[in-house]
Amino acid sequence: MLAAMKKEILLRKDELQNNKIQSLYFGGGTPSILSSDEINSLIDEVLRYFSFEKDIEITLEANPDDLDKNFLKNLSQSFVNRLSIGTQSFFDEDLKLMNRAHSASEAESSIKRAQDFGFENLSIDLIYGSPVSNFEIWRENLAKAIALEVPHISSYALTVEHKTALENWILKGKVSRPKEEEQNKEFYYLSDFLKDNGFDHYEISNFAKPGFYSKHNSAYWKYKEYLGIGPSAHSYNGYDIRSWNVSNNQQYIKKIDSDILPKEEEILSLKEQYNEMMMIGLRTTWGVDLISLQNKFSSEFLEKLNNQIQSKVEEGMLIIENDHLKIPEKHWFLADGIAADLFLV
């Protein structure tokens, strides 16, 4: 797999318009099962064809149970300068429900160990709205994150995916289905609490201390180009083409060995580009750049937008600020629905 990924980097080295990289992200699946030497070998391969900005952000997604002392010691001597730790919760009841391999104590100790080895730029995931949890436990989860001095938190409502153990338990009556009103309450407490503790709420599910915004995810939200390597990886040219690699590992390796890129692609219509800009932009503190819309789309598109947003502006669901269309933060929990109302069909 590593050899195939290195070869894919070679085959796609000319796809990015800018050869100078601002961020590199090891994520999807569990890249922390790799040794630090294997991670370094992939970074070295990237450096054969691309150069790094001096303040490049190189993130590794990791499970708490993978972050032992030896791994962190070796990783601290690599280019990796940011860890995204799949904490999920600091309570064992939540972790059992989510079928996580680590315990609550491992979640806490992995963060402390990473900090001991010099990793200050840390992000953790926290899940709210668990049916085995309650508001007081959620408050304690957030208080623990603050006490651990984590500068970036990504937080998501627990969702019930089809054909999962959680769905099965709900159908059998072993646990109750998550309640939207409880998730709504916990979301707004999350936002207020973290802002009171010096965090910026810069995307619906993301909070950061100043200087610790995720460069990588921010690039997605600002429609910048990116190149994805490996099975299931997605890429975007920054304009109108999205592509994705096959998800099957063996098919991926076989095609790469035959010098065939294992990807499919789609050309986004103007309508699809417009809808994406609405869906993504309205989830962020930056909103949708109306000047960019004017430059990219015809007057027909803009006339429809003006007609659609007028009533929502009057209702206070949307605001226009410095030529940007935004959803006021108090309505962010409804952002996907508000954006969908603005879609062109």
**Other C-beta atoms lying within 10 Å of the C-beta of residue 207:** 28
Nearest to 131 by CA among 182, 172, 187: 182
- Report the chain's mean pLDDT, rounded to a whole number: 92
Quote the percentage of the chain above a pLDDT of 90: 74
pLDDT tens per residue across span 287-308: 999 998 888 888 888 888 888 8
Question: With bands split at pLDDT 50, 70 and 90, how would you rate the model's confidence at 180?
Answer: confident
- Pick 33 or 178 by higher pLDDT: 33
- Is it the case that residue 13 has pLDDT exceeding 80? yes
Instruction: Give the global pTM.
Output: 0.92
Beta-bridged to residue 85, according to DSSP, are 62, 124
CATH code for the structural domain at 18-221? 3.30.750.200
Q: Which residues of 37-63 are buried (b: 16+ CB within 10 A; e: fewer)?
A: eebbebeebbeeebebeeebbbbbbbb
pLDDT tens per residue across span 307-325: 888 889 999 999 999 999 9
Please list the residue range(s) of the chain that carry CATH number 1.10.10: 270-342
Nearest to 98 by CA among 70, 133, 72, 54: 133
- Pick 250 or 169 by higher pLDDT: 250
Residues contacting 156, CB < 8 A, separation 6+? 125, 126, 127, 128, 205
- Is it the case that residue 169 has pLDDT exceeding 80? no
Hey, which CATH number is domain 270-342, 1.10.3470, 1.10.10, 3.40.50, 3.30.420? 1.10.10
Count H helices and E strands in the chain, helices first. Answer: 14, 13
pLDDT tens per residue across span 268-278: 999 999 999 99
Predicted local distance difference test score (pLDDT) of residue 51: 96
Q: What is the spatial distance between Cα 43 and Cα 24, in angstroms, rounded to a whole number?
A: 9
pLDDT tens per residue across span 90-121: 999 888 888 788 999 999 999 999 999 999 99
**Other C-beta atoms lying within 10 Å of the C-beta of residue 80:** 21
- Is it the case that residue 170 has pLDDT exceeding 90? no
Predicted local distance difference test score (pLDDT) of residue 160: 78
- Is it the case that residue 63 has pLDDT exceeding 80? yes
Predicted local distance difference test score (pLDDT) of residue 231: 96
Averaged over 40-57, what is the pLDDT? 96
- Chain mean position to CA 92: 24
In angstroms, what CA-CA distances link 216 with 98, 105, 278?
26, 29, 20
Are 260 and 12 in contact by the 8 Å Cβ rule? The answer is no
Are 40 and 79 in contact by the 8 Å Cβ rule? The answer is yes
- Is it the case that residue 74 has pLDDT exceeding 80? yes
- Is it the case that residue 29 has pLDDT exceeding 80? no
Token output for 43: 């970074």
